[in-house]
Structures are given as structure tokens and as C-alpha cells.
Structure 1
């Protein structure tokens, strides 16, 4: 399976280390979400993967070997700063950009029109980019990255500014690429979207990887809470040893337990106080995990 691998990658700017020895793999056939706060090192890492920015130390590998310039020419890349010419028609510059990657003009035009149609922009193909809304400009930039059957996709905030319909269309296109084994790495600040889409997550903090795994792996490793529902007021949970009350709302309490023994104490005390309708574990959301590992 083709993969895009980052090994101990570092980038310094003077005395500042923006990326500090990070390692992860974007496996072929999977959507890998790349998340972190502003300044965490996501864009810098993507630029090094694509050769836009020199690597201070470390290595990028593709398909098991050090990545080459020829490899990168086969990658689809969507940069943080959009690279469209505002006073040129969308279709005309998509064909131009595709030809720079070695795609014949006729094939490029056909593919561009097809992709624009699938993203709802077929009727705007001849419009100058500056006449398009920011969301539609984003769609054109996405098309530029997807053209030419890329062997890997590196996308910096591809869903920014897209409405739900455009997001769904974009996801369908990305799934077609993962279905043929293409590794897809994309960054996003939309954690709910990342949680819904990704088979793997890489979370950065201050230039370092602080979490890496499938959503299930990260949820298993995260802080498990318990939800208690009973008849009477549940405010008494605050006094149970080993129990931290995260939230109490009448008969419903959300708690964190120090260990299994604390959970059993909680249950026993609850039964003594009246009927217990529910005591169940609550797995953390991606947003909760993100807050925990980046705090």
C-alpha cells in the first residue's frame, strides 16, 4: 500500500523551531486529518512534504523511498495561500496549471469541466476568478489539486469556506481517490468535520505530534467519563471519593472516575439513594481529546 511518511522532520527559522522532530504516516486509502492550533506547524510540515520549504533535518518518504521531485510532480497540493490568478477565467487557468504538470490541453479541459460540474461550478467555468465568491474560488482551487490522477493529496484547509453541499461533493471526490489507494493528508480547524471523515488523526502542538491514531484509538486513550441518571437530584456525587463531577443538572450527572473502584462506589451510593436509570461510559469526542492533548 502506497504511503506518505514523515520521519523526524524538523524546520527552524533562526532560533525558533517551528517543527520539532515529528513523525507520522499518511497511509494509502485513508483520509488522515492533520489538526492543531494556529502556529502548531501544520502548514510548515505540508510545505516541507511538497518541497516548497527546505527541510532542516529529517526525511519525507513516498512508497517506501525518499521522496523525489518527480514524485512531488504527481502529488495534488492545495496550499494555504491560494494560487489562483484573479483576472483569468477559472477554466482557462485550470487547463494552464494542468499543462504545467504534463497533462495535454484537451484532456485537461475535459477533466476540469467534469470536476467543476461535480462541484456545482460548470456554469461559472468561464467567469474570472475575482467574480466568484470565496467559497467558489475555494472549489476551483480544489479542482486544481485533484486534476491529473494524483498519487497523493496534500491539502491545507480544503474545506474552509465551503457550504455543506460543497463539502459533501468534495468528500465524495476524496473518497474516490482513497478507494484507489491514494494517501490523503488534509488540515482543518473544523474538528466535527475531521471526526466525521477521518480514519486517522495526527494532532500537533508547538511543532510536535501529541496524538496519532485512529479515532477509536484516541478515544480509548482519552479520559472516559460516566453519565449517571436517577430519580432525585444528583448533586451528592460531588462527595463521592474518587469522583470528579464535570456537570450536574438535576437528576443527571457527568463525572470522571479515578478508577473502577470509584465507579463501583458511585453506583452503590446511587442505588442507596433511589432508582438508577443509567450509569454508562461516555467516550470523549475529538474536540475533548484535542483540548486534553493540546492544553
Structure 2
């Protein structure tokens, strides 16, 4: 329910409301999608404006997520310091902030990209802020598996923004993030299971136990290790990416195996370590995709 009185939030409060660290990774993956679709430095002003548009919509979706989840956030230690919970930002301001950012981002995409990218970005906003946050998250322990489709869209949005198409190559980038999402969030849910239980959210460790969650993480880590090789298989990337993917996959699977092997003796710190590594994994995997593409481009000029 929207608060009736207006507060006077700071710029730092608004910045935090938009989850900038999460959005930075989103924009980075979208940028890789852009640069995989077109030659480096091709029409970079349009590319830059499209990425700003995607980033603004992502921040709008994050603010909407905080608005819809403020009651749950208040009982979770991980989220108790968010601006809406602290009261430094009111519900009315948060709603206006989310609306302005989202409409502004969509406007930039419509002006500098194309209707396809704009429509897909709007659908992604709805998928995350409404379908996942409002419907799936409180309803099923498979929330992150189903709702992960919205989180996997950034490289597709970037590709569509500069090319106006969604080829199979873009779908492979989507599939990588989609497969990465469940083990990433389940690792978080393992060491934050008490938080999710207090909030009444049916995350996998709460509904199916820690042993089942650890097994699920391992199985998804193995699937991710295979899916991450697809760019090389379809010749979207070359040997540099393959080497980086094999190294990163090894680190992910090794950590997931140790978490599963140790069973009830596994510590929360192990789960936290896997969660943190998963963020680095996705960042470096997409950086390797970009580096491989730039290397191939340089070699064509030699």
C-alpha cells in the first residue's frame, strides 16, 4: 500500500533502490550481446544509448522489486537496510522513481534502438517485477527456475538493440545465464535459509531441505559446464573462450561438488563462497566471450 506522506530521500537512497551492482552486471552482459552482434566500434553512439536505456529499465525493475517486497525485506537480515525498509524512501517516491526510470529507458530504446528491443525490454521488466516478484517467488520453490528467464534476457536485449534480430547465437547466451541462475540463487538461499523461512518464501532449502538443494546445485553446475561450451561448438567464439570456459567451469563444478560431498558438514561459508564465485564466473565468462571476439577482429586486420 502506498504511503500517504512524502519523504525527502537522498540521491544515495535512490541509487541504492535501483540495485546498482546487480544492474552493472546486467548492462555488462547486454553490452557483450551488443558487441557479439556487430563489429567492434560499429555505430557506438547508438549502442551506448541502447545500453543506457536497458540499464534504466533494469534499475526501474529493481526499484519495483523493492517496492513490492518491502514487507518481506523488513524481516530478512540481508535486506533490512534497503531504503524502503529504513523509511528513507517512501512508497510513493519509489513508485515514481521506478516509473520514470522505466519509461525513460524504454523511450531511449525506442529512439536509438528498435521496437523489437523495446518490446523485449518491457516484457523483461514485467517478467521480473511482476511475474517473478509478485507471483512466482511466493508460490513455488521452482520460482528461480521459471522466473530466471527474465534475468537471462540482457544479452538478447543487447543483441536485438543493435541488430533488430534474435538469432540462435543470442539464444545460446540466454541459455548460459538461464542455466547459471538456479545454482547461483540456491547457494545464496542455503546460507540465508533462515531469512527466507521468516519471510515465508518457499525457497528450495526451506521446502526441500539442504541436502536436496546441494544436489540440485551440483546437477545444475554440471549442466552449466556443458551449456557454457556451446558458443565454441556453434563457432560463435574461438579457442581463447574455450580455454577460459573450461577453467571457470572447473572452478564452479569443484565448489559445487565440495558443497555436496561435505553434506551436513558443509558450512554456510562454503555456500557463500560458491555464491560469490558464481558472480565472478558469469562476469569472467562473458568477458572471455568479448575478449575472444575482439581477438578475432584484430586477427582479421593483421
Please say which structure displays the higher CA radius of gyration: 1
TM-score bracket for the superposition, by shorter chain length: under 0.3
The structure in which a higher percent of residues are strand is: 1
TM-score normalised over the length of structure 1: 0.23
The structure in which a higher percent of residues are helix is: 2
TM-score normalised over the length of structure 2: 0.23
